[in-house]
Amino acid sequence: MRGPHNLIRLIRTGATLERAGAMEAVLDAFEAPRHVRIVLRTLAWPFQWLAIKGDTDVPPLPRALTALGPAYIKFGQVLSTRPDVVGADLATQLRVLQDKLPPFSVAEAKAEVARELGLDADSVFSEFSEPVAAASIAQVHRARLASTGEEVAVKVLRPGIERAFRKDVDAFYFAANMIAALSPASRRLRPIEVIEHFDGVVTGELDLRLEAASASEFAANTAEDDGFQVPTVNWAYSAKRVMTLGWAEGTPIGDNAALDAAGHDRQKLGARVLELFLNHALRDGFFHADMHQGNMKVAASGDIIAYDFGIMGHIDEYTRRVYAEILFGFIQRDYKRVAEVHFEAGYVPADQDVDEFARALRAVGEPIFGMDADHISMGRLLNYLFEVTERFGMETRTELILLQRTMVVVEGVARSLDSRVNIWDVAKPVVTSYIRDSIGPRAVLGDLVKTAKILARFGPRLPGIVEATLIAQSETAPAETPRPWAWLIGGVLIGGLATGALMMVGFTL
């Protein structure tokens, strides 16, 4: 890391935050001690001439980050998914960040296409529009394939964006190490881990092949979902810095007047947005983690079209089951069961009192159930739940924080379409269906079959494993100690018979 380079960038950052009036909020979020506050503000004040003014109509922190450029905008967007780090208030402020930046020229975009695909852009596309969207990392053009006449969206990374991000991320690491050194109390917020998380997110977004893969997987998972579409990836014209997808033609889901004029039922759309998200999170464990109005349209058929797959969430099957049982317990108002699930999953340390934890959960759930339907929020429930579990020693789980943040965004979209939508009424059949299919007797049998299939792969190696174990036992066991060969062989035989039986059951299902 180059100290002088990073120091200059951080001084400019501090000066911009100070000038925008955002420095205090940042220091509060990171619980900076008094001496650190004095040092930082003393250093920032004389250098305000280096600060970038920004748009005064925007709140202080988003204004400062937008003024500082693409890496800072993206950093703010990532931090908006981590209220566990910056606090709920600051995370809410950061959600309004917009990364609409001045576009680069069509000529530059075509040059990038030619470099990446090894083909002249004008030979590939018979039409190639001015940018229809320009974000911090890339911009999108509407185009038409010369070979088929199909309309497509072509996403192109900004020229030189990798180098620009690398310089800023380098400065972020420098700042994180300084914070950890100057303020030991801040280490519980894991500043270096936060930057590593950001670095990983950005690295993924700077390779459009990964976004294309996410879009392809998401499309495969949701192919049978009624009323939902994902644009098809055109792999022939996609590479690291260029991605080509089918064009999503429709009405922006945030334009209620246009939706009404087109004859769409906004009440049904609001419920469908929630149902789709819950299905994707629970059923597939792979969900669109940036489902705001700008990333969805409504087709003429009434189908919801999702696009922009730079941020996706993943939850493993075990965590999905735990999450579903927790939600189901809250829906049933069975707080004791919700508490037991937390203990069974190891989320809450075993030395805590399960009954006391259940009472704390009741204090979370009952006020929410007492609200009017149009005020009930699953996102709020999860937020309160995390606050309670933190008091009982539960460690932060990043995947659940991302899920909670996305739930808040999706609820916002649903309520913008229909302010009267009842979150619980929509969620109950989805969660109940998942519980039935994934935790009931058939699911247990399915788990056993999966286990048997995995064990069966080791069948050819079992004789060698048994022989090696017997030889090792015969060489190391004392003469007077009964050798456990009979137990071992018996176990292998029983395991083999059980595996065979389960395999037969599995193949008949």
Nearest to 241, CA basis, from 125, 127, 99, 114 = 114
Q: What is the largest CA-CA distance in the chain?
A: 89
**Does residue 51 sit in helix, strand or coil?**
coil
64 contact partners, CB below 8 Å, separation of at least 6: 16, 17, 19, 20, 22, 52, 54, 72
Listed in order, strand segments (DSSP E) in 361-416 are none
If phi over 0 gives left and psi between -120 and 50 gives alpha, with beta otherwise, what is residue 421?
A: beta
Question: Per residue, what are the HEC states of 307-344?
Answer: CCCCCEEECCHHHHHHHHHHHHHHHHCCHHHHHHHHHH
Q: Which of 168, 290, 308, 418 is catalytic?
A: 290
No. of helices (H) and no. of strands (E), the chain:
23, 10
- HSE-up of residue 119 (Cα within 13 Å, Cβ side): 13
b/e per residue 189-225 (b: at least 16 CB within 10 A): bbbeebbebbbebbebbbbbbbbbbbbbbbbebbeeb
350 contact partners, CB below 8 Å, separation of at least 6: 343
Residue 290 designated active-site? yes
Parallel/antiparallel/unpaired status of strands 251-252 and 296-298 = antiparallel
Measure the CA–CA gap between 63 and 59, rounded to whole angstroms. Answer: 6
Which residues partner with 144 through β-bridges? 127, 151
Record the tokens describing residue 498, joined without a space. 């059980």
29 contact partners, CB below 8 Å, separation of at least 6: 85, 86, 87, 90
Distances (CA, A) of 290 to 22, 240, 365, 495: 25, 21, 27, 46
Measure the CA–CA gap between 447 and 462, rounded to whole angstroms. Answer: 22
148 contact partners, CB below 8 Å, separation of at least 6: none
**Does residue 128 sit in helix, strand or coil?**
strand
Nearest to 324, CA basis, from 435, 217, 428, 232 = 435
Nearest to 502, CA basis, from 435, 424, 449 = 449
DSSP 420-438: T--HHHHHHHHHHHHHHHH
Catalytic sites, residue numbers: 290
